[in-house]
Amino acid sequence: MKKYLLKKICLAAAIGLVATTANAHFKLNSPASWIEEDDRGDPQKLAPCGGTLADGGTRTGAVTDVNGGEMLRLAIEETIYHPGHYRVALVRNMNSLPADAMPLNMVETQRGPGSGSFPIESNPEAPVLLDGLWENNERRTGPLETEIQIPNIDCENCVLQVVQFMSEHPGHREGGYTYHHCAMLDISANTAMPIDENW
């Protein structure tokens, strides 16, 4: 009986280890997420803005007021590590968000073929604001923060999307090699500045 119990404990630990190394997770701390997130940031698998096939997410109703042309604090926390990078995009409606990039190559992982590197736009164009953000190959702790410049536009319920591209990942059926979070922004243009026509 003791041997059987010990085997079950070891098996459960091994499964937990694989689950931890195979899935990355992140929380969107700022601006406020449009859906409720648990301690790991779930649900976040489905494009373009999170949720899963079983759980589309509970809407928070949060909307962040932003002045056009100004800097916006972006803060996340990686709750489960995975190598890769982040991309940030801004659109007037969710249907206009860019598709998730596909990996440039495949590599062998502990769970079979997985994603290699992903393309990074060094000079991103609208609707992408930043690409290659927080690129990493080593585990890190603590929150990650930066400031991003918001285009000078008038836009009610604009959608700010943060996507995590995961290298060395076997993929999942709901979101491929990526995780997603979004925030809703009400942007008021600065009348002293030219309007950004790209948006």
Tell me whether residue 124 is in a domain. yes
Which of these ranges, 62-66, 74-78, 138-142, 156-160, has the smallest mean pLDDT?
138-142
Tell me whether residue 193 is in a domain. no
The whole-number pLDDT of residue 24 equals 62
Tell me whether residue 197 is in a domain. no
Total domains present in the chain: 1
Q: CA-to-CA distance for 118 and 173, rounded, in angstroms?
A: 18
Tell me whether residue 130 is in a domain. yes
Q: CA-to-CA distance for 105 and 117, rounded, in angstroms?
A: 6
Q: What confidence tier does 86 reach under pLDDT thresholds 50, 70, 90?
A: very high
Question: pLDDT tens across 91-129, in order?
Answer: 999 999 999 999 999 998 888 888 999 999 999 999 999
Tell me whether residue 194 is in a domain. no
Other beta carbons less than 10 A from residue 143's beta carbon:
11
Question: Nearest Cα to 128, choosing from 163, 183, 89?
Answer: 89
**Helix segments in 52-172, DSSP class H:** none
Domain of 181, in residue numbers:
2-188
Tell me whether residue 177 is in a domain. yes
Tell me whether residue 169 is in a domain. yes
Question: pLDDT tens across 129-139, in order?
Answer: 999 999 988 88
Question: pLDDT tens across 1-14, in order?
Answer: 444 444 433 433 33
Tell me whether residue 40 is in a domain. yes
The CATH number assigned to the domain holding 96 equals 2.70.50
Q: State how far the alpha carbon of 66 is from the alpha carbons of 4, 62, 151, in Å.
A: 59, 13, 10
Question: pLDDT tens across 134-184, in order?
Answer: 998 888 777 899 999 999 999 999 999 999 999 988 887 787 899 999 999
